[in-house]
Chain A
């Protein structure tokens, strides 16, 4: 089993782990000093989460090797969520 751990899938896990640490750091950034800083922090956290989702979808779910309609559908869903949530933080609060 140990040989499997040297697979590129494990390297991706390390990248995802570091991205999670980054988002956790961004989220525990102390009190928000201004509305602009708060929005920037929220959108940065969202962007990291969306990138992590895309890495899992494309590599662990193997969508990168799937027909293009599925790749486009998954990317459209990610874009939909990023657009919807970030627009809330930019414009609605």
Chain B
């Protein structure tokens, strides 16, 4: 059933548009967080519908690492970031 994957890819494209042309740091961070969420749910959907359990493990690791990356980038931006 490729409709769910198609809808998730469409919303991923919309969020990546905001990632490219976001005016501030917060826009880019939130777009990156939303894109990472859509990517790991897309991995879970593909792994469930085509019976590949390895995709689910990859999805768990991707979710944990993207959470860590977004929190670290937000703290880095909060303390002055690269322009100081």
Q: Do A and B belong to a common assembly?
A: no
The interface of chain B, by Cβ under 8 A from chain A, is none
The interface of chain A, by Cβ under 8 A from chain B, is none
